[in-house]
Structure 1
Amino acid sequence: MTDRSGHHNFSDEAHWTAVADGYERWVEPSTAQFARAALSLSGGVERGERVLDVAAGTGALTLAAAEAGARVLATDISRGMVARLRERLQPFAGCEARVMDGQALEVEDASFDASFSVFGVMMFPDWRRGMAELVRAIRPGGRVIVAAWANPEGAGPMPLFLEVYRRVFPEATILPSPPGMSVLCSREGLRAEMVRAGCGEVAVHAVGGVWTWPSVEHVMRDIDEILRLAPHFSALDDDGRARLNGPLRAAIEPCAEPGGAVRVPTTANIAIGRKTG
């Protein structure tokens, strides 16, 4: 699953639909921390405000904004993600989820008060176009909020997995992360790209969070499902996965606290700007 430049292609609709259930269980509890931070740092949303959430996934940001009374349009390329979001948005009048390409949003210009992309735009093949679409969709003076991982290899157990993968399979080719992740992982890069897309008054905040799981045993029991999101892991056969088990356990054990819970710290950069024109 690569694009023409040899990077991972994370815009494959079938992939995201296949992992939608696992995403809600394994990823959303972590991303929700940053979604709440993005809302807080941007001043929150008011009842009745029109909010756009691009690459919404299973809805961490969308649901928080809907609960605050905003009228949210959640978009995602994945039919599976959108189907789940529609179920979760049923209690919220005026909110909807639609299948849509974040690089070519089917929305009118200047039709929203705020637009968000929490760990979404950074993975688009044409991520600059995605950021420009976030800006196009909001009214002049409206807010644009973009979150990206500070580590270009991702968050939670993914960097640990890649470290182990390199040791166990030293001859394997490690495909680079999407180019947007490599640029937007730095506060300076994220700020510059927000300005380039048409934002002013840009502030970038480094926000800490943590990926947690009950114990090392729970992580190892669920490792196939957790790492299904990682293309390198999903491409391994049974023998390859068996070779990783011992080294993976050894890498995860230092993250366990005295009570047994596994906690992996992670950091994201959250940028807030205003549309200048």
Structure 2
Amino acid sequence: MPQSEPAHHQPFNDPAHWDKMVATYEAQSQPFTMHYAEAALKTLDIGPSSKVLDVATGTGAAALAAARIGAKVTAIDFSAGMVQRVRAHGVQNIEARQMDGQALDLPDAAFDAVLSVFGVMLFPDWRAGLREMARVTRPGGAAAIAVWNSADGGGVHMLVSRIVRTLYPDRLGPPPAAGLAQLADPARFAAAVVDAGFAPPVITEVTRDFGLDVADFNGVERLFPFISHWNALDDEQRAAVARAFWSEIERGRVGDIFPIPSTAMIATARRP
């Protein structure tokens, strides 16, 4: 087992950490996040002539979905590895660029629609991320922002955090990202979108099963260091949590898939 990381270190904020996670993220997370990306896109009025920005694109779930509609997509991420993976798809109407979503190197009012699917909520300065989304959206354009309805996130993060709370309630780490906790409340989420420069949003809830592929044992455990409560444990405690995790998997798996119901909120708002 790896040694515990300092409490202040959050892998979410380290592009090098994401660079190492590209293959695991694409295999385990993208098939899941694609459902939410498609749901977010359905709330936006975009078509083949639309200019769309995908903020914190990851391996490109939202960008690929928008490109299939025919939109001209700019996909940005601070991880060079993620950007390279999106480029490797070779989709003609996607331009993937490495960029800080808290300070976009893009002109004002340049996009008809802007998306962030589980991205901006992880930024150290998530308020700046939302303001930047508003800045680059044209007047009358719209944004769709997806966040989890739990400070523990969804999927594996939510499951492992629940196990840690049960076994070691006195060893809980800090929220993995301030925005994740702040935006999990619908009233605060709506207020933050307005504060950023958008009109009051419509918020919808979407619940899907995270279909964890438990045949990929190493890939699953590579997700654990992203979980702040895991990072607050010592090696013996981590081993106990891992045992409890795999015990729950064995009880609930269907073949190689273990379903973890996860709920997101999608805020859709116009730029005045």
What's the TM-score, normalizing by structure 2? Answer: 0.89
Residue in 1 that maps onto 2:86? 85
Residue in 2 that maps onto 1:39? 41
Structure 1 Cα separation of the partners of residues 130 and 155 of structure 2: 25
Q: Deviations over 1:158-196 (max 9, x none)?
A: 121122234445553512231111121122121111111
**Structure 1 vs Structure 2 CA RMSD:** 2.5
Is the alpha carbon distance of 1:73 and 1:168 closer, same or farther for their aligned partners in structure 2, counting shifts above 3 Å? same
Structure 2 Cα separation of the partners of residues 34 and 222 of structure 1: 22
Structure 2 Cα separation of the partners of residues 221 and 2 of structure 1: 23
Is the alpha carbon distance of 1:185 and 1:77 closer, same or farther for their aligned partners in structure 2, counting shifts above 3 Å? same
Q: Does 1:248 align with 2:250?
A: no
Residue in 2 that maps onto 1:160? 159
SS in 2 for 1:206: strand
1:103 positional shift: 0.4
Q: Deviations over 1:116-171 (max 9, x none)?
A: 11101101111111000000001101001111001111101212112223444555
Residue in 1 that maps onto 2:18? 16
Residue in 1 that maps onto 2:262? 266
Q: Does 1:125 align with 2:101?
A: no
Matches within 5 A, 1:209-248: 209-213=208-212, 218=215, 220=217, 222-231=219-228, 233=230, 241-248=238-245
Equivalent pair of 1:19/1:229 in contact (CA under 8 Å): no
Is the alpha carbon distance of 1:227 and 1:254 closer, same or farther for their aligned partners in structure 2, counting shifts above 3 Å? same
Q: Which moved more, 1:201-210 or 1:120-129?
A: 201-210
Structure 1 gaps, min length 5: none
Equivalent pair of 1:8/1:175 in contact (CA under 8 Å): no
Equivalent pair of 1:100/1:106 in contact (CA under 8 Å): yes
Equivalent pair of 1:255/1:264 in contact (CA under 8 Å): no
Residue in 2 that maps onto 1:75? 76
Is the alpha carbon distance of 1:238 and 1:173 closer, same or farther for their aligned partners in structure 2, counting shifts above 3 Å? closer
1:34 positional shift: 0.2
Is the alpha carbon distance of 1:222 and 1:11 closer, same or farther for their aligned partners in structure 2, counting shifts above 3 Å? closer
Aligned length: 268
Is the alpha carbon distance of 1:244 and 1:9 closer, same or farther for their aligned partners in structure 2, counting shifts above 3 Å? closer
Q: Which moved more, 1:109-118 or 1:259-268?
A: 259-268
Matches within 5 A, 1:80-159: 80-88=81-89, 90-93=90-93, 95-159=94-158
Q: Which moved more, 1:56-65 or 1:156-165?
A: 156-165
1:246 positional shift: 2.3
Q: Deviations over 1:19-69 (max 9, x none)?
A: 1111111111111110000011224x2102110011010000000101111
SS in 1 for 2:155: coil
Structure 1 Cα separation of the partners of residues 29 and 122 of structure 2: 15
Residue in 1 that maps onto 2:51? 50
Structure 2 gaps, min length 5: none
SS in 2 for 1:212: strand
1:239 positional shift: 5.5
SS in 1 for 2:64: helix
Q: Deviations over 1:71-106 (max 9, x none)?
A: 110000000000101111x1324x210010000000
Residue in 1 that maps onto 2:197? 198
Structure 1 Cα separation of the partners of residues 72 and 211 of structure 2: 31
Is the alpha carbon distance of 1:2 and 1:97 closer, same or farther for their aligned partners in structure 2, counting shifts above 3 Å? farther
Equivalent pair of 1:138/1:275 in contact (CA under 8 Å): yes
Equivalent pair of 1:109/1:137 in contact (CA under 8 Å): yes
